[in-house]
């Protein structure tokens, strides 16, 4: 492998609200990583349109996700923040990867199966080749590290397969091996209404998730009303097995307080949920309150957010350009 500069890339879709899952599983980890690595964070608007998006709502959500990243502590002086559609290289490389990835690989993607549901025939072709665009996002910058929640693991394995097949097919040592960074206690935050389902921005019940747009009162209410069982909390992590709702809340507590689950259970083991929930509500409000308020403020500052995205896109395009030139040359595209 040629010497490769370490570089972080990650993305969030601007479809619906940012959730506590997005924050704990991804964005919060990015804040620490930007100090160690050259980092690129992308609002993936092209991924969002794989399912229908109202154009006005897409513009609003794109700014809101950017505002969320900034409010959470992504520093535009340190990292690149931009929206995907501003850098055309993503679409160009995705096409090349459409020709590298095999149908058999895409057929195994569980996220496509979940999102397309029973109505597979009516899903967009974009939804099917979604992971190829994701591979393009990462490899357009030859990124080496990708911090994500657990649900993106399979897509990153596909990214590695695409990179490897490209290198093999063309007899080059061009793309690096991408390393997923699945960090922290809360790599898979679950629904507050059903501990077997992932907390998701598309869940029909708003009570199932905490949105980064929720105010302090709403956050506290959702925690208080979160579903639990009737047993007391266990004293050891093993006691959380087969208790998905309890495990989820304890995991959220651990992540928000930067502790491990075992440590949290030392404080609450043997108790019922009343005190625990009230402490978790207070902790959530304490950690998320300043972020949600700053995010709301930034959402009013459209031209500031737009200027960050514009500058970021320029920087991203500068990094992408020579890499894409090389790729086109490897593939055999003539440029007289």
List interacting residues with ligand TYM (CB under 6 A): 9-13, 21-22, 25-26, 44, 47, 134, 137-138, 146, 148-149, 151-152, 155, 187-189, 198-199
- What is the token pair recorded at 1? 């492998």
Contact of 40 with 80, CB cutoff 8 Å: yes
Nearer to ligand TYM by Cβ, of 107 and 271: the residue is 107
Catalytic residue among 142, 198, 222, 277: 198
Cα 160 to Cα 2, 81, 168, 176, 178: the distances in Å are 16, 24, 12, 8, 6
Mark whether 201 is an active-site residue.
Answer: yes
Cα 246 to Cα 253, 274, 285: the distances in Å are 11, 12, 19
| Shortest spacing between CB 51 and ligand TYM, in angstroms | 11
Catalytic residue among 153, 165, 201, 221: 201
Nearer to ligand TYM by Cβ, of 232 and 323: the residue is 323
Residue 216: phi, psi to the nearest 5? Answer: -55, -40
Mark whether 315 is an active-site residue.
Answer: no
Residues whose CB is less than 8 angstroms from the CB of residue 240 and which lie 6 or more positions away in sequence, other chains included: 234, 246, 247, 250, 261, 265
| Shortest spacing between CB 143 and ligand TYM, in angstroms | 8
| Shortest spacing between CB 334 and ligand TYM, in angstroms | 30
- What is the token pair recorded at 249? 């809340």
- What is the token pair recorded at 293? 């308020």
Mark whether 115 is an active-site residue.
Answer: yes
Nearer to ligand TYM by Cβ, of 186 and 281: the residue is 186
Nearer to ligand TYM by Cβ, of 4 and 271: the residue is 4
**Closest residue by beta carbon to ligand TYM:** 25
| Shortest spacing between CB 90 and ligand TYM, in angstroms | 9
CA-based angle 290:189:141, to the nearest 5? Answer: 80
Catalytic residue ranges: 115, 198, 201
């Amino acid at each position: 492998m040629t010497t490769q500069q370490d570089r972080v890339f990650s993305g969030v879709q601007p479809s619906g609200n940012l959730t506590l899952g997005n924050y704990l599983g991804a964005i919060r980890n990015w804040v620490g990583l930007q100090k160690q690595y050259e980092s690129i964070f992308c609002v993936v608007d092209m991924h969002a349109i794989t399912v229908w998006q109202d154009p006005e709502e897409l513009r609003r959500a794109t700014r809101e996700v950017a505002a969320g990243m900034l409010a959470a502590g992504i520093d535009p002086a340190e990292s690149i923040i931009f929206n995907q559609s501003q850098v055309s290289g993503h679409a160009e490389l995705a096409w090349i990867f459409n020709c590298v990835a095999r149908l058999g690989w895409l057929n195994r993607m569980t996220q496509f199966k979940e999102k397309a549901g029973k109505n597979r025939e009516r899903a967009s072709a974009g939804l099917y080749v979604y992971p190829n665009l994701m591979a393009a996002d990462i490899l357009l910058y030859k990124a080496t590290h990708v911090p994500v929640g657990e649900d993106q693991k399979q897509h990153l394995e596909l990214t590695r397969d695409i990179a490897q097949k490209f290198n093999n097919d063309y007899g080059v040592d061009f793309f690096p091996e991408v390393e997923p960074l699945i960090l922290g206690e809360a790599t898979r935050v679950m629904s507050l209404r059903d501990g077997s389902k992932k907390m998701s921005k598309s869940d029909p019940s708003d009570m199932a998730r905490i949105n980064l747009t929720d105010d302090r009162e709403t956050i506290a209410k959702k925690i208080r009303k979160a579903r639990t069982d009737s047993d007391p909390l266990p004293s050891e992590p093993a006691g959380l097995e087969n208790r998905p709702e309890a495990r989820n809340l304890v995991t959220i507590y651990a992540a928000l307080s930067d502790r491990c689950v075992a440590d949290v259970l030392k404080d609450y083991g043997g108790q019922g949920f009343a005190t625990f929930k009230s402490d978790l509500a207070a902790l959530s409000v304490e950690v998320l309150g300043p972020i949600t308020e700053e995010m709301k403020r930034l959402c009013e500052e459209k031209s500031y957010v737009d200027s960050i995205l514009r500058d970021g896109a320029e920087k991203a395009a500068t990094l992408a350009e020579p890499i894409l030139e090389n790729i086109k040359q490897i593939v055999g595209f003539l440029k007289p």
